[in-house]
Amino acid sequence: MTLELIAFGIVKDIIGGKTLKIVVKEGTTVKELKYILTKKFPKIEGLASLMVAINQEYADLDIVIRPTDEIVLIPPVSGG
């Protein structure tokens, strides 16, 4: 299945744009997606954390992604 990911911050710079289409197998979990992304974009692994939101809610690693889900990659943030 093809997923369209939306990226913010440093993740957008790492993947080369605000959106990325990626093909994964049916039943892919958030954990598997993060693994796939670190293999395709090794700099992602260097981030302190990478949050994934699905349909505007932070997603646990065991959530199964559907092709109709809105998937957002959120880099670590700091405040001051």
Q: Which pLDDT tens digit goes with each residue over 42-61?
A: 999 888 889 999 999 999 99
Q: Are strands 71-74 and 51-54 parallel, antiparallel or unpaired?
A: antiparallel
CATH architecture of the domain 2-71 equals Roll (3.10)
Are the C-beta atoms of residues 80 and 49 closer than 8 Å to each other? no
> Is residue 18 within 8 Å of residue 74, measured between CB atoms?
no
Distance in angstroms between the alpha carbons of the first and the last residue of the chain: 40
Report the pLDDT value the prediction gives residue 79, as an integer from 0 to 100: 57
Q: What's the mean pLDDT when you consider all of the chain?
A: 94
Sheet of 2-7: strand order equals 19-23, 2-7, 71-74, 51-54, 57-58
